[in-house]
């Protein structure tokens, strides 16, 4: 998602890394490139300037310039300042007060409020809450209908009666009291921050429902206007935080940096897909690492802990690192990994090493799920013994495997050859332990 | 299949880490140790400044944000200096023109700018020359088809409603096809717009194949003697290849049904930042965009991204959405656009 910004910054910093001692002029040149990279990522002009100024003043300190590894120090400073700009520590979304607790969603048209409402409802229900969705968007044709449909899909009640959004919102809270719902999520009409009437209406809805949270939905693809919107909404309805939507595209997400920077309010969640489950808590520090190409290993590990049997997996991995794995292990690992999500997504979360960022990306692009499935089919057509000891696979066995998996003997040959090659390479690579992983040279990346 | 190696590598590292962390955590829990949090950074991070909107921006830039931005005329009142050129660039940046295009434009303006002339006129001239002449709607033949595409929430359905209204007012028989069968209640939204605009609605149930809807729409429109068929499609992020392929298929199906797609409009939200270029490129690859409809220009966003889209892909802007009423869709006027882009924030 932040691919391009990451690449740009990576280029800038790898230039810095090549130099031993830093001259202030070099830092300035690098930071000018950083500014352009940030602007290309839609970071607001004022926020980019502020960030660059902060990094410059810290980077030019004696401490950094005189250190043995000044370039790395600059990267470190950049990472810290980026984290600060993104909102510092992760702030969990909490719902204080006595039920029913009201959460109001606001934002401009098309920012993804209605979808975010439903996703949030689903998320809160998974945390043991009993949410009620209230459709107070009476402006956009069929908005309430959309909310009802989504509500049916996720099994959360939707209430919307009346023609005045303010009264409707108020009655929605009463409805929650009546039905025993403990969280009320109110979907409001999209409004442009320059429309005083509509902003007044939002203010009134807020006054009568007394929400614990006013969340602003913001499209990750928004440009320079994001800060203007964020400020206006903050001024009029006292936004408590943001939901960053449509982060699954290739938007570089500068809006995310900018909104928190100018309002001081955190991004609580990010919408990362079209399914109702695709809402993730937002971690500023991890996102900063991601932007700088340090990967998002923490999220990956958390995901892994949630889905795989760690001890079994660690044992299997140990085997692999010793170079003693067979096709059966491969099959098992493949399935475990698939539980984590699409392989491309996993690869993207990995740390980019200096100069290796493109390699990782190239790999992510080249991984073909269909090919993996074909490989899986071939392995499944083998006997247990064949999987454990591929050496015994003779010509007639190959034909049987090909027939069984709907492939050709040439495919089977290729699989076995690649597997043997991979095993050899793994063994030599793992000898160098983890950092060696990144040393797969780009020239060998052709299929 | 070299990536086997990588897949293995990833797994090994990942699983070892996950396993180790889990075991460490378990041991710690057994020993009753508290969780250890990562140490704070050595250098205390500066306090984040929350700037309420009445205040100047946190940074010490030479310009001012919010509604207090300088007008260009004021800016160049006392002649041009290095600072004013920087300020001009910042104004373009804030209009989402993008760093490369903005810096190029300032370079050109500096080069072309006649001594004593007015800088604003030179900038305006540059913008107009990038945008090229305005291009009216090209509708001819028995049944004209307009395909409308874009990312989620850009305003496709609303644009179609307004466009239908416009064409109906011009005396054409218009039908709209609800080929957004994915988003909940998209069909209902279009139905309401059809009623408002006086267009005929062609729809199937949610979840139906959008290609089938498009095919039926062409056949039905032909049978009913419709002049213009406007096809609504589901919002899709341009990075989702299967969805982009689906779009190409919809176009092919329309052609297979015996019609030609006369116009393919990309609906682009004026708030869109630099990602707009990636969007335009991906949609052009999939369905050959013939024009951009710039929506939500009644907000504070200037929509400067269309300059880059025009320069890089040659796709002109055709219509602009200027408000929420059914009549609020206007043919694009480059002069109006340039004036707005250069107006104070």
Chain B residues with CB under 8 Å of A44 CB are: 94
Would the CB atoms of A146 and B66 count as touching at under 8 Å?
no
What residues of chain B lie within 8 A of the CB of A234, using their CB?
52-53
Question: A100 preceded by cis ω (within 30°)?
Answer: yes
Tokens of B310: 């025009």
pLDDT of residue A319: 67
The shortest CB-CB distance from A363 to any of B3, B41, B273 is to: B3
> Which neighbouring-strand residues pair with A241?
A215
The answer to whether residue A424 scores a pLDDT higher than 90 is no
- pLDDT averaged over chain B? 81
Give A141→chain B minimum CA distance, Å: 5
Angstroms from A77 CA to nearest CA on chain B: 9
Q: Are A146 and B184 in contact (CB < 8 Å)?
A: yes
- CATH code at position A354: 1.10.260.30
Is B229 part of any domain?
Answer: yes
Same domain, A207 and A105: yes
Q: What is the mean pLDDT of residues A428-440?
A: 47
Q: Are A440 and B58 inside 8 Å of each other by CB? A: no
- Residues A279, A174, single domain; the answer is yes
Instruction: State whether residue A385 is helix, strand or coil.
Output: helix
Q: How far apart are CA B196 and CA B214, in angstroms?
A: 22
Residue A170 is given by DSSP the state H
Q: Please report, for residues A275, A404, B168, B189, the alpha-carbon distance to residue B218 in angstroms, rounded to integers and kept in the order given.
A: 31, 44, 18, 21
Residue A437 scores a pLDDT above 90: no
* d(C-alpha B274, C-alpha B305), whole Å: 6
Per-residue pLDDT, averaged over A362-384, amounts to 78
> Which of A137, A138, A216, A225 is most worth mutating to test chain B (most B CB atoms within 10 A of its CB)?
A225
Average pLDDT over residues A429-439: 46
Contacts of A320 in chain B (CB under 8 A): 8, 11-12
Q: How far apart are CA B171 and CA B156, in angstroms?
A: 23
- For residue A437, being part of any structural domain is answered with no
Model pLDDT, residue A173: 96
Residue A310 lies in a domain: no
Q: Is residue A407 part of a domain?
A: yes
H helices then E strands: how many in chain B?
A: 12, 8
Nearest CB to B59 within list A41, A53, A250: A53
Q: What integer pLDDT is reported at residue A212 of this predicted model? A: 96
First and final C-alpha spacing in chain A: 26
Question: Do A218 and A128 belong to one domain?
Answer: yes
> In whole angstroms, how far apart are CA A409 and each of A116, A349, A378, A420, A438?
49, 36, 10, 16, 33
Candidates A37, A110, A423: best to mutate against B (most CBs of B within 10 A) is A110
Residue B120 in any domain: the answer is no
CB pairs under 8 A between A and B: 301
B14 occurs within a structural domain: no
Same domain assignment for residues A276 and A183: yes
* Contacts for A79 with CB less than 8 Å, ≥ 6 apart: A288, A289, A292, A294
| Sequence-separated (6 or more) residues with CB below 8 Å from residue B1 | A371, A375, A414, A415, A418, A422, A447
Shortest Cα distance from B75 to chain A (angstroms)? Answer: 18
Q: Over the stretch A236-275, which tens digit does the pLDDT of each residue have? A: 999 999 999 998 877 777 887 789 889 999 999 999 888 8
C-alpha torsion A118→A123→A129→A132, nearest 10: 0
Residue B34: inside a domain = no
Reduced to 3 states, what is the DSSP secondary structure of residue B329?
A: strand
Per-residue pLDDT of A90-132, as tens digits, reads 889 999 888 899 999 999 999 999 999 999 999 999 999 999 9
Last residue within a domain, chosen from A298, A332, A367: A298
pLDDT at B163: 96
Where does residue A406 fall: left (phi above 0), alpha (psi -120 to 50 degrees), or beta otherwise?
Answer: left
Cα torsion angle, B50, B53, B56, B62, sign: positive
Residues A79 and A160 grouped into a single domain: no
- For the record, the structure tokens of A303 come out as 């995901």
- Write down the pLDDT at residue A400: 93
- How far B191 CA lies from chain A's nearest CA (Å)? 9
Q: What is the pLDDT of residue A389?
A: 85
- For A305-316, the pLDDT digits (tens) are 666 666 666 666
What kind and span of H or E run contains A132?
Answer: strand A131-136
Task: Using DSSP, state whether A144 is helix, strand or coil.
Answer: helix
B2/A444 Cα distance (integer angstroms):
8
Rounded to 5°, the CA angle A63-A65-A68 comes to 85
**pLDDT category of residue A334 using cuts at 50, 70 and 90:** confident
Q: Give me the residue from B58, B94, B237 closest to A246, CB to CB.
A: B237
> Tokens 């009993």 map to which residue?
A130
For A417, how many CA atoms within 13 A lie in the half-sphere containing its CB?
Answer: 8
Instruction: Judge if A36 and A139 occupy the same domain.
Output: no
Query: Nearest CA to B10 among A255, A222, A337?
Result: A337
CATH of the domain at B313: 3.40.50.300
The domain containing residue B232 runs over which residues? Answer: 144-342
Whether B290 is covered by a domain: the verdict is yes
Picking from A230, A226, A247, the residue whose alpha carbon sits closest to that of residue A239 is A230
Residues in B closer than 8 angstroms to A415, CB to CB, are: 1
A81–B192: do the CB atoms touch at under 8 Å? no
User: CA of A225: which chain B residue's CA is closest?
Assistant: B301
Domain stops at, among A253, A283, A313: A283
| Number of independent structural domains in chain B | 1
A97/A182 Cα distance (integer angstroms): 10
> Is the domain of A182 the same as that of A80?
no
In B, which residues are within 8 Å of A352 by CB distance?
none
Report, as an integer, the average pLDDT of A175-202.
94
The Cα of A237 is separated from the nearest Cα of chain B by a number of Å equal to 13
Indicate the number of domains in chain A.
Answer: 3
What's the predicted TM-score (pTM) here? Answer: 0.73
In a domain, A344, yes or no: yes
Instruction: Average pLDDT across each block of 10 residues of chain B; the chain has 345 residues. List them in order.
Output: 55 56 50 37 35 33 34 69 87 92 90 78 90 84 91 93 95 94 89 93 90 95 95 92 93 94 95 93 94 94 94 94 92 93 78
CATH number at residue A67: 1.20.120.140
What is the per-residue pLDDT for A439? 35
H runs (alpha helix) in B32-98: 72-75, 82-94
CB-CB neighbours of B15 under 10 Å: 27
Same domain, A367 and A245: no
**Residue A14: both structure tokens together:** 């790898």
Whether residues A270 and A162 share a domain: the answer is: yes
Across the interface, of B15, B50, B154, the residue whose CB is closest to A308 is: B15
Q: Looking at chain B, which residue has its C-alpha nearest residue A110?
A: B153
Residue that is written with structure tokens 């999987």 in the block: A387
Residues A43 and A189 grouped into a single domain: no
Residues A150 and A216 in one domain: yes
Residue B114: inside a domain: no
Residues A129 and A271 occupy one common structural domain: yes
Quick check: is B198 in a domain? yes
Q: Which pLDDT score, from 0 to 100, does residue B198 have?
A: 94
Q: Specify burial of residue A24 (Cβ count, 10 A radius: 0-12, 13-18, 19+).
A: exposed
Give the ipTM of the model, two decimals please: 0.74
Q: Residue A33: what are its φ and ψ, rounded to 5°? A: -65, -40
Token output for B138? 């090209």
Does residue A77 come out as left (phi exceeding 0), alpha (psi in the -120 to 50 range) or beta?
A: alpha
DSSP assignment, residue B272?
A: B
Is the CB of B151 less than 8 angstroms away from the CB of A246? yes
Establish if B109 belongs to a structural domain.
no
Q: Give the residue numbers spanning the domain of A105.
A: 101-283
Closest by CA to B12, choosing from A350, A120, A176, A198, is A350
């Amino acid at each position: 998602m932040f691919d391009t910004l990451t690449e740009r910054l990576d280029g800038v910093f790898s230039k810095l890394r090549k130099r031993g001692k830093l001259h202030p002029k070099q830092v300035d040149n690098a930071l000018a490139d950083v500014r352009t990279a940030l602007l290309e990522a839609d970071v607001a002009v004022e926020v980019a300037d502020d960030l660059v100024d902060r990094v410059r003043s810290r980077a030019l300190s004696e401490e950094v310039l005189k250190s043995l590894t000044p370039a790395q120090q600059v990267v470190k400073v950049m990472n810290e300042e980026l984290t600060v700009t993104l909102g510092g520590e992760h702030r969990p979304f909490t719902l204080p007060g006595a039920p029913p607790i009201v959460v109001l969603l606001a934002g401009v048209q098309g920012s993804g409020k209605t979808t975010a409402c439903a996703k949030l409802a689903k998320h809160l229900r998974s945390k043991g809450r009993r949410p009620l969705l209230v459709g107070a968007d009476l402006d956009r044709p069929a908005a309430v209908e959309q909310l009802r449909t989504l509500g049916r899909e996720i099994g959360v009640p939707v209430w919307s009666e009346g023609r005045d959004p303010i009264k409707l919102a108020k009655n929605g809270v009463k409805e929650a009291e009546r039905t025993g719902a403990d969280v009320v999520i109110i979907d409001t009409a999209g409004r442009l921050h320059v429309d005083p009437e509509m902003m007044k209406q939002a203010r009134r809805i807020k006054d009568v429902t007394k929400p614990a949270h006013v969340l602003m939905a913001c499209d990750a693809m928004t440009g320079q206007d994001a800060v203007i919107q964020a400020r206006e909404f903050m001024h009029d309805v006292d936004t408590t935080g943001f939901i960053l939507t449509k982060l699954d595209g290739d938007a570089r997400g500068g809006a995310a940096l900018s909104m928190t920077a100018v309002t001081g309010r955190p991004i609580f969640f990010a919408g990362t897909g079209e399914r109702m489950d695709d809402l993730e808590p937002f971690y500023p520090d991890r996102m900063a690492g991601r932007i700088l190409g340090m990967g998002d290993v923490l999220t990956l590990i958390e995901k892994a802990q949630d889905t795989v049997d760690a001890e079994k997996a660690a044992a299997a991995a140990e085997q692999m690192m010793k170079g003693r794995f067979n096709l059966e292990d491969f099959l098992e690992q493949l399935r475990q990994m698939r539980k984590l999500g699409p392989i491309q997504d996993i690869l993207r979360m990995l740390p980019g090493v200096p100069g290796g960022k493109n390699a990782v990306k190239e790999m992510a692009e080249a991984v073909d799920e269909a090919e993996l499935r074909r490989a899986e089919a071939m392995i499944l057509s083998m006997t247990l013994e064949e999987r454990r000891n591929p050496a015994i696979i003779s010509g007639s066995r190959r034909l049987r495997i090909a027939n069984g998996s709907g492939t050709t003997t040439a495919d089977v040959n290729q699989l076995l050859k690649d597997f043997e090659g991979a095993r050899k390479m793994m063994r030599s690579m793992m000898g160098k332990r983890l950092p060696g992983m990144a040393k797969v040279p780009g020239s060998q990346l052709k299929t | 299949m070299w990536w086997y190696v990588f897949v293995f590598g990833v797994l090994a590292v990942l699983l070892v880490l996950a396993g180790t962390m889990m075991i460490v955590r378990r041991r710690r829990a057994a020993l009753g140790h508290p969780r250890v949090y990562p140490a704070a950074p050595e250098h205390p991070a500066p306090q984040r400044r929350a700037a309420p909107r009445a205040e100047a921006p946190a940074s010490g830039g030479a310009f001012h944000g919010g509604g207090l931005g300088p007008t260009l005329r004021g800016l160049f009142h006392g002649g041009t200096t290095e600072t004013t050129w920087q300020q001009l660039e910042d104004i373009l940046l804030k209009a989402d023109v993008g760093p490369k295009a903005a810096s190029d434009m300032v370079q050109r303006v500096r080069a072309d700018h006649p001594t004593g002339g007015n800088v604003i006129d030179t900038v305006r001239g540059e913008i107009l020359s990038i945008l090229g002449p305005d291009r009216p709607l090209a509708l001819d033949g028995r049944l004209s088809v307009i395909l409308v595409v874009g990312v989620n929430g850009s305003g496709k359905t609303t644009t179609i409603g307004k466009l239908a209204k416009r064409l109906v007012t011009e005396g054409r028989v218009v039908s709209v096809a609800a080929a957004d069968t994915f988003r909940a209640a998209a069909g209902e939204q279009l139905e309401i717009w059809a009623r408002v605009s006086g267009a005929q609605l062609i729809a199937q149930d949610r979840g139906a194949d959008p290609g089938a809807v498009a095919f039926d729409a062409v056949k039905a429109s032909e049978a009913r003697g419709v002049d213009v068929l406007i096809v609504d499609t589901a919002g899709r992020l341009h990075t989702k290849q299967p969805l982009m392929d689906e779009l190409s298929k919809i176009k092919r199906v329309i052609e297979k049904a015996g019609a030609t797609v006369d116009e393919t409009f990309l609906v682009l939200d004026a708030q869109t930042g630099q990602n707009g270029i990636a969007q335009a490129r991906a949609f052009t690859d999939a369905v050959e965009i013939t024009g951009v409809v710039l929506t939500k220009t009644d907000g504070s966003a200037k929509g400067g991204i269309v300059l880059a889209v025009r320069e890089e892909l040659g796709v002109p802007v055709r219509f602009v959405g200027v408000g929420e009423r059914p009549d609020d869709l206007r043919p694009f006027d480059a002069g109006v656009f340039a004036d707005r882009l250069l107006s104070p924030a």
